[in-house]
Structure 1
Amino acid sequence: FHEIAYYDLPVIIDHILNATHHKSLFYVGHSQGTTLLFILASMKPEYNYKVRVSVALAPSAYLTHLRGWFNTSMVDMWKQLEPLIRPNELHEVFPHNQLYGSLAQIFCNDYSPLQHICVQIFHFLAGGPSENQFNKTLIPVILYNTPAGSSVKQLTHYMQIHIS
């Protein structure tokens, strides 16, 4: 996260401020996006003046509260996968796959009798709010964009946070 927060986020903020001719902006971060701003604010305090208001949605600092099979089993799986991934110089994990998205749009839409099963699968894998708090019409959109891909370094860092 350090590199993204230190190098990438300042460039993004400066680009937005230059394009809009404003001196500060409103920042809305979710999960890792919140952590990035926290890191940037501590490492480059001059950016504190460039962010007028920050909204931190689901900050990812402690991961022990996560539910779902993926979140609870990933640490054990990662301990077995990491030694295989590193020597082969694999840099991306869980890349986006349009086939999954297309299947989700067919089988998980509001008119599908299988939508309930899609919701159950999603909750089993990812955890999340209880079914009565979850907007089922979003399942095709969520599954169309999931997985979205990640770098091995980011996943390694998340696993280190989860373990600690």
Structure 2
Amino acid sequence: MAKKRVFFTGRIKNPENTVSGLVWRGYLKQVKHLSIKQQTLNALPGTIYSPHLQQVTDKLKNHPDSQQEYLQKALGDQYKKFQGITIPGFLASDKRLQGQLKSGKLSFNAYLHAVIPKALLTDLNGNNYQVTDLKGWKVSISISGKTSKNYGWGFVYFLEP
């Protein structure tokens, strides 16, 4: 008696495009969708999520006219090591990528991997960083979710060790 196996018809690839093929349905598991926070952390390998920094940056919206003063008080001596980037950046290509994200043509993961490196080259303080430069840095995230009209827009904040 011959055994039958059902394969999905779509081809899959790994992110580096070095392996592709078909997948037997028995190998698949249902997984929960990763949160925006977790996907952003995954796009910034080596960074460390900081609940304290998240609390500090979440309160920025309460100080629209005095954000710098608030951060100086909240972070103390660490303020000098504070950095931030806007997602997407201010380039037309970033806005195009955000449009593709909103329309579903681009995954959130692919969007992050495209816009974060560009944003790091022109961070809010005029510094130029690579993702690999941020190893050991603390991070907090404020990016609009899928239900928002500003899906994919927000800030990522860093605190240098």
Q: TM-score, normalised by structure 1?
A: 0.25
Q: TM-score, normalised by structure 2?
A: 0.25
Please state which structure has a larger fraction of its residues in helix.
1
Please state which structure has a larger fraction of its residues in strand.
2
